[in-house]
Amino acid sequence: MFCFQCQEAARNEGCTIAGVCGKKDIVADLQDLLVYTIKGLCYVCEKSNYLDDEVMEYIPKALFVTITNVNFDDKDVMDYIKKGVELREKIIEKTNLNKEELPHCATWNYENDDDIIELSLAKEVSVLAEDNEDIRSLKELITYGIKGIGAYLSHAMHLGYNNEEIHKFIVKAMTKLVDSKDADELFNLAMETGKYAVDTLALLDKANTETYGHPEITEVNLGVRDRPGILISGHDLKDLEQLLEQTKGTGVDVYTHCEMLPAHYYPFFKKYDHFVGNYGGSWPFQTEEFEKFNGPIIMTTNCLVPPKDSYKDRVYVTGAVGYPGLKRIPVREDGTKDFSEVIEHAKKCKPPTPLENGKIVGGFAHNQVLALADKIIEAVKSGKIRKFVVMAGCDGRHKTREYYTEFAKKLPKDTVILTCGCAKYRFIKLDLGDIDGIPRVLDAGQCNDSYSLAVVALKLKEVLGLEDINELPIAYNIAWYEQKAVAVLLALLYLGVKNIVLGPTLPAFLSPNVAKVLVEKFGISTISTVDEDIKRLVG
């Protein structure tokens, strides 16, 4: 195996024996073959100008399966590979494409599982198939951005929102990744990936807000009640909705974990009395927290950490998530999920062990922030707010991430943090005060809500009459971990944001030359010390 797609790649070079994330080599190899298979499917779609609902349903989900901390189950990945080959063959037959003119990724086939495993080990399906390290770097940057787009698109599609243009872009881009060796062409494709990341995030924002209302300022309880509970994690709001409906009147409470916290900010979810609060923090700390929760846990998307035996029988998966031995939530014929087994399971469990008390205040997505615009603009004009600092993105395991807590604590009192994603858990429970009633930490929601931060920035630019987004009093100190964050990064670059600080390390998949171009064109850098970074970002 060779994988360097996330921030925790071994030695910041790549995982080669097993993933730091817990992914086994066989799973990593099969995931490479799955990406290779998706490329082949896209290739035949592009060449025959073909797209149908089944393909649009499959591609984003299959991409999602290969994102860090989503699926650790070789059997699941194998099934997705087989489905990809089946769809591809159907299209070749339907459109009379000449197989002899197609590349290997679009023609390979198998007789049994051993054939699939054998091919998954071949260099030609691996990231290292591309010998030129700069071309490889650009190709993987695009691939990871597209994986992020696939994940965000899956979320929107689960709510019944879709945009064919995004699928067409994925198909075109994956085909170019097979054919192109041209660094300029690939660089432009990376920027175009940023454009489609913006479009996808906008679609998801529309899906979320039209379905559940606009997030509003909300206090989220961190304590527990004396009844059994179900803990739901990941990003999928539709799954949460169905769970809340099915747990109504059962005596079982529902708590959010990690990226599900912002569900509390939506007006729609406030009507459920048994939707109690948020339990615990960000994904890297789940092994201790799941243990103490005592009841069943549902993982709707990333980030799953390989579960301990002590609570493994209480973890359920759904959607793209998979882990050997974990129970899967059944899907009914009408497409809804059947949580009855989890609910019965919860009834037999003890209530959660309390971890903390108090509350988190959040809900500052674009509508809510714009409702406070007058107040905020006044504070900016009078100098009470000197700077906004975007501290969005992901959390991770490494000790180096303590930097973000220190950074938030040491920021001058006339600065306001704009956040979203699980990175916020490094500072959201600190009492950082407010500026004339405006909290110093404004949480827009999940990483899925990164679009909100862009809307706020563009609105501020308009109101302040500025020409360029970079003239705004906003600095970016972003923490990244997995491929959704790569899509968000490309989106920000596409919007013209410069001087982003990306940490705690730059991606291992950026070759020195590609990193140099990003530094020269966009002023990207990585973190140094808290004091130095505060000096250069805030002044």
Kindly list the residues in this chain that would bind ligand FSO in the complex (CB under 6 A). Answer: 69, 258-259, 283, 302-303, 394, 421-422, 446-447, 481-482, 484-485
Residue 19 interacting partner from ligand FSO, ligand SF4, none (CB closer than 5 to 8 Å by kind): ligand SF4
15 binds, among ligand SF4, ligand FSO, none (CB under 5 to 8 A by kind): ligand SF4
Rounded CA separation 32/43 (Å):
16
The one-letter amino acid at 480: W
Contact in structure between 274 and 437 (CB atoms under 8 Å): no
Orientation of helix 483-494 relative to helix 450-463, angle to 10°: 20
User: What is the closest distance, in whole angstroms, from the C-beta atom of residue 489 to ligand SF4 in the complex?
Assistant: 16
Pair type for strands 434-435 and 438-439: antiparallel
Q: Where are the beta strands (DSSP E) in 285-419?
A: 297-299, 315-317, 327-328, 359-362, 387-390, 415-419
**Residue 138 CB: number of other CB atoms within 10 A?**
29
How do 315-317 and 297-299 pair as beta strands? parallel
Residue 383's nearest CA partner among 341, 413, 410, 414 is: 414
**150 or 363: whose CB is closer to ligand SF4?**
150
Comparing CB distances to ligand SF4, the nearer of 9 and 392 is 9
Query: C-alpha distances in angstroms, 113 versus 44, 65, 120, 144, 188?
Result: 23, 19, 11, 27, 38
Answer with the entry of ligand SF4, ligand FSO, none that 28 interacts with (C-beta below 5 to 8 A by kind): ligand SF4
Beta-strand relationship, 253-256 and 474-479: unpaired
Minimum distance from CB of 69 to ligand FSO (Å)? 6
- Shortest Å distance, C-beta 304 to ligand FSO: 9
Residue 254, φ and ψ in degrees, nearest 5: -125, 135
Closest distance between ligand SF4 and the C-beta of residue 156, in Å? 24
Q: Which residue has the tokens 């501020």?
A: 460
User: Nearest approach, Cβ of 274 to ligand FSO (angstroms)?
Assistant: 24
The smaller minimum CB distance to ligand SF4, of residues 4 and 316, is found at 4
Closer residue to ligand FSO (CB): 218 or 302: 302
446: partner contacted, choices ligand FSO, ligand SF4, none (Cβ within 5-8 A by kind): ligand FSO
Tell whether omega for the bond before 303 is within 30 degrees of 0, i.e. cis: yes
Contacted by 419, from ligand SF4, ligand FSO, none: CB < 5 to 8 Å by type: none
Other beta carbons within 10 Å of 369: 23
What token pair was written down for 125? 């399906």
* Residue 192 near which of ligand SF4, ligand FSO, none (CB within 5-8 Å, type-dependent): none
- Nearer to ligand FSO (CB atom), residue 174 or residue 485: 485
Nearer to ligand SF4, 477 or 483 (CB): 483
Q: How far is the CB of 508 from ligand FSO (least distance, A)?
A: 17
Residue 26: Cβ within 10 Å count: 16
CB 274 → ligand SF4: shortest distance, Å? Answer: 36
CB of 320 to ligand SF4, least distance (A): 14
Give the chain's radius of gyration (CA, Å): 23
In the bound state with ligand FSO, the residue whose beta carbon lies nearer, of 27 and 479, is: 479
In angstroms, what is the minimal distance from the CB of 338 to ligand SF4? 31
Q: How far apart, in whole angstroms, are the C-alpha atoms of residue 25 and residue 400?
A: 26
Give the residue with the Cβ less far from ligand FSO, 37 or 278.
278
Would you say 6 or 42 has its CB closer to ligand SF4? 6
Q: Are 337 and 330 in contact (CB under 8 A)?
A: yes
Contact by Cβ (8 Å): 494, 405: no
Instruction: Using CB under 6 A, list all residues that contact ligand SF4.
Output: 3-6, 8-9, 15, 19-21, 23, 28, 68
